[in-house]
Chain A
Amino acid sequence: MNIQVKKFYYGDIPEENTGGTNPENNYAQENSWPLWEVFIRSKQGLDHKHAGSLHAADAAMAIENARDVYTRRQEGVSLWVVESKYIHASNPDDAEMFYEPAADKVYRHPTFYDLPDEVKHM
């Protein structure tokens, strides 16, 4: 597949019109800070919810950076950070066989059961 995207968009200036210089990449060798995932509890009583990610040298810095970038407008009362490499995810390619078995078990839902209208409080 080789679709040439030629249309010019805002924030999408095509390569053929690039200017400037192209010196050696000086930064590739740099010892980079690991990536962290940020979870925010927006108020007491609610779950922590994934908000985004950031780079930080350690957990303390990750929490401070998360405070600065993700809670500038009182978005949270509690923060979790976890290094992204520790997150294990299901594989989207397996989604069909992984989740499909749930689809044919309609009897797991209360609406499956046909009861007379006279039954109250159920």
Chain B
Amino acid sequence: MSIHDLEISFQNKIDSEIKIEPKDWMPEAYRKTNLRQISQHAHSEIVGMLPEGNWISRAPSLKRKAILIAKVQDEAGHGLYLYSAAETLGTSREQMVADLNSGKAKYSSIFNYPTLSWADMGAVGWLVDGAAILNQVMLCRTSYGPYARAMVRICKEESFHQRQGFETLLVLSKGTKEQRDMCQDAINRWWWPSLMMFGPKDSESTNSDQSMKWKIKRKTNDELRQQFIDMIAEQIKLLGMTLPDANLKWNAERKHYDFGEINWEEFWNVVKGNGPCNKQRLADRNKAHDEGAWVREAAMAYAAKRKNKTANKAA
């Protein structure tokens, strides 16, 4: 079969909703796009542990501490599911970790913002995980089999993250004036970065929508962002708080909320490495990796020693 025929039969499979599996023929660009997207997603889960890990030792109660630990452990697990999915596309775990630690690979910019107060743990769960879930629910139906399966597993676990976040804020919203102020302040700081999580506007894109054609993605950035805004604008009423956007209002004609302009300059600045915490996050990842080197080596040495012993016994 010629490459052209292979491409046609590949697209036919996609069109008839047949998942692509690791050993199937796929266009090189499909492989690369998936690899980049899945590994970035994995890196986001791993770096995403850092802003929350910051609060484990300072959680206000044992219950909140146990919840936060469980959540951070989930993020590590999600990173692993995704790294495994990316590995099926022909890269190694070491390569991906190296690309993250060197700053070559990207992760979601949202994790380059600092978590300044306990209320941030609530805002991160509600807004950041909430935004991530919309994307992840869509990705449960992505065309690459291993990615879709990882997403199904992740979505099952992610719902607790968002609910505990909202509940954390709900408790604060019924608290003292200081607690209510803290709650509103966290929402003010996390709102706009959360909207940026969906990526640039659809109109920024000039090329044909290849990822949609390949069904890697099934909704555009703007569609997902609007869905998120409509959802949050209603939920916030239950908190008795406000979203920091004077232009946010219901549009009966569109049946959606209108909203103000996102600061794209800030978005690109953070992507390019100039966010409040980019350097600190990478430094922390590198430190953890370097300080864990002896553990990885010792485990290999131990495995080799045991293997030798078994071999000697058999001889």
Taking beta carbons and an 8 Å cutoff, which residues of A are in contact with B?
1-13, 15, 17-23, 25-28, 30-33, 35, 52-55, 57-58, 61, 68-69, 72-73, 89, 91-93
User: Known contacts A1-B27, A9-B37, A93-B25; is A18 also within 8 Å of B106 by CB?
Assistant: yes
In residues 63-110 of chain B, which contact A (Cβ within 8 Å)? Answer: 70, 73-74, 76-77, 80-81, 84, 87, 92-95, 97-98, 101-104, 106, 108-109
Contact B73 A28 (CB under 8 A): no
Q: Does B135 contact A (CB under 8 A)?
A: yes
Q: For A35, what are the chain B residues with a Cβ–Cβ distance below 8 Å?
A: 87
Interface on chain A toward B: helix, strand, loop, or mixed SS?
Answer: loop
Given A1-B28, A92-B23, 8 more A-B residue pairs with CB atoms under 8 Å apart are A10-B135, A22-B102, A28-B94, A28-B95, A30-B293, A30-B296, A57-B300, A72-B73
Question: How many Å from the CB of B151 to the closest CB on chain A?
Answer: 11
Question: How many Å from the CB of B146 to the closest CB on chain A?
Answer: 9
Contact B23 A89 (CB under 8 A): yes
Question: How many Å from the CB of A81 to the closest CB on chain B?
Answer: 13
28 residue pairs A–B, Cβ–Cβ below 8 Å: A1-B3, A1-B7, A7-B205, A8-B204, A8-B221, A10-B108, A11-B37, A11-B135, A12-B37, A13-B109, A19-B103, A20-B102, A20-B282, A21-B103, A22-B102, A27-B97, A27-B289, A30-B296, A31-B297, A33-B299, A52-B84, A52-B153, A54-B84, A57-B296, A68-B73, A69-B77, A73-B157, A92-B21
* Total contacting residues, chain B, CB less than 8 A: 76
Contact B106 A54 (CB under 8 A): no
Q: Does B224 contact A (CB under 8 A)?
A: yes
User: Known contacts A23-B102, A27-B94; is A7 also within 8 Å of B28 by CB?
Assistant: no
